[in-house]
Amino acid sequence: MLRWFHEWGSPKAFYLRSGKMLPWLACLTLVLLTVGLVWGLLFAPSDYQQGESVRIMYVHVPAAILAQSSYAMMAIAALIALVWRLKIADAAVQTAAPLGAMMTLLALATGSLWGKPMWGTFWIWDARLTSTLILFFLFVGVLALRSASGQGRNAGRAASVLALVGLINLPVIKYSVDWWFTLHQPASFTLTERPAMPVEMWAPLLVMVLGFYCWFALAWILRLRLEVLQRERRSEWVQRLVSP
């Protein structure tokens, strides 16, 4: 297991192995997102209270789940970068931050659109919304610190520390609806409990969640491969790879 871990931590091994995964991951992403969007937006039933506006759920909920998961994945990479000093882990932190920020921004935007017909306003300083906004700023902060660190030996250590410290915000987001009085409804979908909604609604939602995860993995790997090439451009294996 430790050998496998260090092999994937090698920039060359990661680049060569990840390339074989991309076609399969791209096809799976396309199928899941297409099926999920068509099923959720066109064929899933509307809600008896929220009507057709509930269809925003099929984008908002996957984006919100992925926003938190992507931060957790980025923090794990930051821990590996700090403890084991693997080059690929530091690059993973840098490339995950903009993707996570984009997912968080999408969750905030779709949540605002969903909140207008439900709450009568696009934004309210609700505990769930505010903690999610903080998550967005954490992503931006990690990206800014990592970009300002350059490529030195200690590059990115401050960004990795911030990523780890920001983990405390994740349980706040998850349990904010239980800890405080909020307008935000409890979780519509969890992996540990049976959904309260009928199968006709949660099944396409599950497909969309899986599709979002596959898209994130695809985009992250593509960005990470490009970052590896840029960092290792003077190495022999990259020179052989790009030579005619």
Question: Which of 99-113, 146-160, 185-199 has the highest average model confidence (pLDDT)?
Answer: 99-113
User: How far, CA to CA in Å, does 179 sit from each of 14, 45, 172, 183?
Assistant: 42, 32, 9, 12
pLDDT of residue 87: 84
pLDDT of residue 8: 77
pLDDT of residue 119: 84
Percent of the chain beyond pLDDT 90? Answer: 68
Comparison of pLDDT for 189 and 141, the residue scoring more: 141
Q: Are 142 and 162 in contact (CB under 8 A)?
A: yes
Give one word for 85, left, alpha or beta, with left for phi > 0 and alpha for psi -120 to 50.
left
Which band of pLDDT confidence, cut at 50, 70 and 90, is reported for residue 189?
low
What is the rounded average pLDDT of the residues 187-212? 83
First to last CA, the chain: 36
* Residue 171 to residue 190: CA distance in whole angstroms: 14
pLDDT digits (tens, 9 = 90+) for 136-188: 999 999 999 988 877 655 668 999 999 999 999 999 998 887 777 676 677 66
* Residue 89 to residue 77: CA distance in whole angstroms: 5
- Assess whether pLDDT exceeds 70 at residue 200: yes
- Assess whether pLDDT exceeds 80 at residue 2: no
Q: What share of the chain is helix, strand, coil (3-state, %, to 5)?
A: 80, 0, 20
Give the torsion through C-alpha atoms of 35, 36, 41, 47, to 10 deg: 140
* pTM assigned to the model: 0.92
